[in-house]
Structure 1
Amino acid sequence: MSPDPRAELDPAARRWLGKDAEALTEAEARVLKHARRRSVLIRRPAGDEQKTFGESLADQVASFGGSWTFIISFCVFLLLWAGANLWLLSQPFDPYPFIFLNLMLSMLAALQAPVIMMSQNRQAIKDRENAARDYEVNLKAEIEIMGLHEKLDRLRDEHIMTLIAKQQEQIDLLTRLVRRNDELGGGR
């Protein structure tokens, strides 16, 4: 039976995240593994994968349906429809109150709304995946920064200890010089 791969992360998990390796989420475990190996964590952003025909069509419909081009062209179409049926045609095909136009608009809305919602749902999924990736990158950066702080603290402590040792050597040397001077009678 092979050992739990998270068990090797236990010291790092306690040190950096304050919890046992068993309590780590998948993202936290992945981040700690990359931090220990000093490897790159960044992956391709969500949404770069190949889209199906339906997903691509939904994105195009949502893109066009939410544009000024669509709004302006639709307003022009409505004005032409109303103008043709009110003033230009002696036998209008859709007399006021434009029942056929209402039917067409209802069918358009009934089809367009779910397609736009499909596109928005896909975008929400991509946003959640990208947010999870951002979290992992930020967590790894935070762990790396804490590690750098520890290294700097260790270096500072070593430097201070070296300075203290040198100062102690100088004090000892001065003490010996003063004693020697006293022994030679220079202290009168």
Structure 2
Amino acid sequence: MGARSRPPTPAPASTHQSAAIASTLMGASYDTLDERSQKVARHVAAREHISRNVAEDFHDRARFGQRAADEVARFGGSWTFVGLFGAAMVGWVGLNAVLLWGRGQTFDPYPYILLNLFLSMLAAIQAPIILMSQNRQAERDRIAAEHDYEVNLKAELEIMMLHEKLDVLRDTQWAELLAIQRQQLALLGSVLDRQG
């Protein structure tokens, strides 16, 4: 598929800002945070995005055997497989019945021991392949959950920073509004003194 896309690494110049974000917004020193929280603090300080397509990254890293296991599990859990499997079973039994009536000899008589052998071998091969695919799915889910945590933490920190900016803006605007109102009252008082 090509080279794996990775989000840009934040510039190292933002280490001081990362420490400030960690102490003010996360309530802990930067060094005491876990690796994911440090990564989020660096991205917030550098004003860079953290989201990426985890599924695409995970698929790009998969080796041939892992992708083959996923495809076998995907096909083995489909209605196409169930239909083909049912048709093969009916065909096997039907062919043995036709041969029994036609010539009196079959390649796999009634208890179908050869069919049972093939089914056992299929199950023995298919089960570990499906387990490998399920393990990869669990790993993909774990990585996606960790990434969701990082994105959610960054969004929470960004919202907290916006609240702080709005609070500062509101406080300064309120002070300016009061100062303007005092000036207006003083001007109104001087106008009234002149008229009176």
* Same fold flag (TM > 0.5): yes
CA shift, 1:77, in A, is 0.5
Give the whole-Å Cα distance in 1 for the aligned partners of 2:32 and 2:43. Answer: 18
1:164 counterpart residue number: 178
CA shift, 1:65, in A, is 0.8
CA shift, 1:81, in A, is 0.9
1:129 aligned to 143, 155, 165, which one?
A: 143
Mapped pair 1:26 → 2:35:
yes
Mapped pair 1:59 → 2:70:
yes
CA-atom RMSD in angstroms: 2.1
Q: Which amino acid aligns with 2:50?
A: L
Cα deviation code 1:71-116 (max 9, x no counterpart): 0010010011112223433211211211211111111101101001
TM-score, structure 1 as length reference:
0.84
Deviates more, 1:140-149 or 1:69-78: 140-149
Q: Which amino acid aligns with 1:85?
A: N
Q: Which runs of 5+ in 1 are unaligned?
A: none
Cα distance change, pair 150–8 in 1 and its aligned pair in 2 (3 A): closer
Give the whole-Å Cα distance in 1 for the aligned partners of 2:142 and 2:63. Answer: 20
2:113 counterpart residue number: 99
Cα deviation code 1:34-54 (max 9, x no counterpart): 101101223342323243221
Q: Is the CA contact (8 Å cut-off) linking 1:94 and 1:100 kept in structure 2?
A: yes
TM-score, structure 2 as length reference:
0.81
Q: Is the CA contact (8 Å cut-off) linking 2:18 and 2:44 kept in structure 1?
A: no
* Higher-Rg member (1/2): 1
CA shift, 1:143, in A, is 1.0
Q: Is the CA contact (8 Å cut-off) linking 1:35 and 1:144 kept in structure 2?
A: yes
Q: How many residues align?
A: 178
Cα distance change, pair 44–23 in 1 and its aligned pair in 2 (3 A): same
Residues 1-188 of structure 1 aligned to structure 2 (within 5 Å): 9-45=18-54, 46-89=57-100, 90-180=104-194, 186=196
Q: Which amino acid aligns with 2:47?
A: R
